[in-house]
Structures are given as structure tokens and as C-alpha cells.
Structure 1
């Protein structure tokens, strides 16, 4: 792209429309200057015409953007739209990907690494905390011994997302499965898909999850996105003590040599 004011040659994805509708309808009109809040509203959030006015385009033009046949856009407009819709980091990156085919941040470095040999000493050094290394599709590539005690299902299922959504026992081990585990996991999958739309393995994983889980399909329709789970505090039950709930904090790291990898450390918190 030669400049922010020039229209992109990249075709705007038809997947953009439902997201734009979701983002504008969650806004609170009273908190946005210039919006008339005196009249009765039939729907939540902002109207298409209000978003158009705030971004400086015609209402008919914006309505077409939310349709299945959107027109090309400029980077300047995309930046204004992200501000108007109050998008967070993950959502802004998705907007850029679906409209311009690029990310607003520099591409993350990706490279081949010897996951088994290079990262195993790091994972072992994190004892007694369970820890593992996963790739873009959440395949567990390496782990330390405590993780096998906490998650004995590893011997049958090496993909974290498939376990969460397609294995019934996940709902027993993962406390508050729907809100604390399933919803954030799908939001991360959406972000990964938007930033790695050329990954057939990722597309296949998401299709498998959506086909196999009605709950996943309902959550996917909410169009939520998030970058990572670093710092999340959640609860789970260990298979060896199914009647006892423990509280954990998830710590996430990415090696500079390959940001598509993630090292996860599970820290047990004091009761």
C-alpha cells in the first residue's frame, strides 16, 4: 500500500459484516460524544448511520461495508473505524486483516526451532509447576513431568483445544467450563485465525471443533477475540482429587525466535 489515503487492492472479506454489527451494537451511545440519546432506540448500540457519521462516510457506503459485498477501504478509514468502535488490540488486528489483508503491527517473527531439544530444559527448570510448549494450533509439542500428573489425558489427546471442546471429561476437570475455559479459548482461536488465515491446519482444527460441539458454535457466533490468556486466574479439578478444586494462574511466554509458539506455565495459587 502506497499510503493511508489510498484504497487497498485487497478484497474486503465478507466475514467482516457480522463482526462490525456485533462491535457497534455493544457500544453505549451515552458514552459517545455527538450521539443523540434522547430518542427511543429499537436496537442496542449505535446504528449504521451513526457509525458512518462518526467515521466520515455516507450511510449508504457504510451499509454496503456491512453487507456481503463490501467495497475496498483505505487504511485511514480503518484506523478511524477502529477508534469509533472502541476495538481492543485483538479486534483491531482482526479488522485490519479482514479489510486490508495486513496487520497494524510488524509481522511476528516465525522460524523453525528444535522444540524437543531446545525447550525441554526450560520446561524442566520450571518444576514443580506444570508447563508445556504448544504451537499455533495448540498441539502440545513438549512438556515437563508434572503436566502428566495434572493432565493424564495427554496420552490420548495432544491438542489442548480438542480436549477442551471435544472430550466430555474436560467439563469435569475445568471448573466453570463455559465462561472461564471455553469462551476464552474460542476467542483466542478467532484471533489466531484472523492473523494466520493461510494456516490450513488451524482452519481444519476450528472446523472440527465447531462441527463437534454445539456450545462451541454458539460461542463462535458471539464474535469475541483475544490475544492470549496470560495472567488469567481459573479453577480446575485434578484427576487424582476430583472432589477438590484448586485455583491456578496461567503464565504465557513466546520465544523471540518463533512467536507462533507459546510456553504455558500453570502456577497453583494458595487457597
Structure 2
């Protein structure tokens, strides 16, 4: 069964806006497809429906929030018609499946994180950290704490820090690019884990900031993770110079939802 994330079912009330959920993404993707095709308007609903082999009414109902069963053939047709990238295609399939098929593990439920913690320690020179499906920092190596002391604070959360902490905007060169990436990862995660209370809270807090709100309202961008992304940092220990780094993200197969992230100097 499909989930509509425009309404929070966690007891926290409505999300900050109606900017999440499959219906809003379909409308945005169709508008973008029309622009990219030089139409000067959204790709007509009737054309999307025709490419999928369905009726215009069927597709119109989808954009209004209907939740019919969507098989793989139909989803592939929709993705092709709307010219979706790989992460957007994955998001479409997640909404159709009602979220991530494999539930995220909880470190508090007998999950042995010792092997992952040892892996962090084997990387002494460059920052490395472990996060859960809501980007709570579960562990980190000493280099990560030296570069980013905020990870030592109980309850440290990567996305919350990146979107709402003034320090993040000082340390991340071209911060709007990072803000857009973090919000894009939030969109993807909310398709993976519908109604996740921490994700809802992070989004609500972020959208209280005018700059985050402007980026969010600029249109839905979706990123599954930042694996391979390169960026420039202003880290106090390297002052007055900046450093160029690349992030590598690993997903432990036996621990769904957890992420191991390694940050390396680009010239290293």
C-alpha cells in the first residue's frame, strides 16, 4: 500500500507544508519534463498517461493523491515518461512499495556495532563516522571529532547540523549547495521511511529557516546519498586555507539503514 507523506502519522501534526509525497513529486517532475522538452509548460497529463499505456483520468488521479497499486511495468513507464534520474526512479518505486522493503535496524535492539566501530578506528588519518537512517551519529573516529567537534555532543545529527547550525554555513564553502543536497536526501529518506518522527522533526526545524525554506520551495531535488560528492571545507585546524574533500558512503548489508561515511582529502 502506498503512503502519502504530506500528512504526518506520528502524532506530531501536519508537516510544514504539502511539499512531500508522491503527488507533489509527479507534478514537479511533469513540469520539469515540459521545460526540458522546450514546451514552455508542463508535459501534458494525457501524454504521460499515453506513454504509460493508461488513461488520462488515471494519471490525473495520481497527481491528486490517489493510491492505486502500481506494478513494475507501470512504474517503469512513469519513470520513462517523466525522464527521471536513478535516484528519482528509486523514490518512485519506494512510494509505490510504501517505503523501504527492509526495515532499518535499531542499534538499541541487540545489533552488534562493534565490527563497524573497529572499521572506523582503522581509518585514523581521515574523518569517518557511522549514522543511522535519520543521520544520528552513532560513532566516529578521532579525526572526525578533530575536524568537526560537534559530533562529540550527545544527540549529534548530521542533517540537523548541516541545515540549522551557523557553524555549518561557515565551514561548508558554497553552503547553499550543501543545503540543497541535505534537503534532497531528506526527501529521499521520507520516501524510504514514511512518517519517521525524527525525519519529520528535522524537516520542520529546517524549514523554519528562511534560506532552507527558499531552497525547499525552489523545487523537489532528490539525492539518495552523497557518495562520491566533492566539496570544499573551511576547517579551523587548516585555517586560513580551505581543503577539497570527497565523501564515500558505504551501506553495511547486514545493517539496513546504517551508513559508514569516509571523508578523504582529494589530493590524498
> Which residue pairs with 2:234 in the alignment?
237
> Which residue pairs with 2:9 in the alignment?
none
Flag the 1:23–1:174 CA change in 2: closer, same or farther, 3 A: same
Q: Pick from 30, 44, 56 the counterpart of residue 24 of structure 1.
A: 30
CA distance in 1 between partners of 2:228 and 2:51 (Å): 35
CA distance in 2 between partners of 1:28 and 1:80 (Å): 17
Query: CA offsets per residue over residues 119-143 of structure 1, 9 Å max, x none?
Result: 2221111121111111111111111
TM-score when normalising by structure 1: 0.81
2:151 corresponds to 1:145 = no
Query: Is the contact between residue 111 and residue 257 of structure 1 (CA under 8 Å) also seen in structure 2?
Result: no
Query: Is the contact between residue 130 and residue 260 of structure 2 (CA under 8 Å) also seen in structure 1?
Result: yes
Cα offset, 1:71, TM superposition: 5.5
> Which residue pairs with 1:4 in the alignment?
none
> Which residue pairs with 2:204 in the alignment?
207
CA distance in 1 between partners of 2:241 and 2:49 (Å): 53
Q: How does 1:1-271 map to 2 (within 5 A)?
A: 10=1, 13=4, 15-27=21-33, 41-43=39-41, 45-68=42-65, 70=66, 72-75=68-71, 76-101=73-98, 107=102, 110=105, 112=107, 113-115=111-113, 117-156=114-153, 158-179=156-177, 181-211=178-208, 213-221=209-217, 222-270=219-267
Flag the 1:12–1:81 CA change in 2: closer, same or farther, 3 A: farther
| Residues matched between the structures, number | 247
Cα offset, 1:164, TM superposition: 0.8
TM-score when normalising by structure 2: 0.81
SS at the partner of 2:133?
Answer: coil
SS at the partner of 2:139?
Answer: strand
Unaligned runs of 5+ in 1: 1-9, 32-36
Where in structure 1 do 4 or more consecutive aligned residues deviate above 6 Å? none
Query: Is the contact between residue 12 and residue 72 of structure 1 (CA under 8 Å) also seen in structure 2?
Result: no
Unaligned runs of 5+ in 2: 7-20
SS at the partner of 1:258?
Answer: coil
Cα offset, 1:199, TM superposition: 2.4
CA distance in 2 between partners of 1:269 and 1:42 (Å): 41
Cα offset, 1:77, TM superposition: 2.4
* Higher gyration radius (CA): 1
Q: CA RMSD in A?
A: 2.5
CA distance in 2 between partners of 1:165 and 1:149 (Å): 21
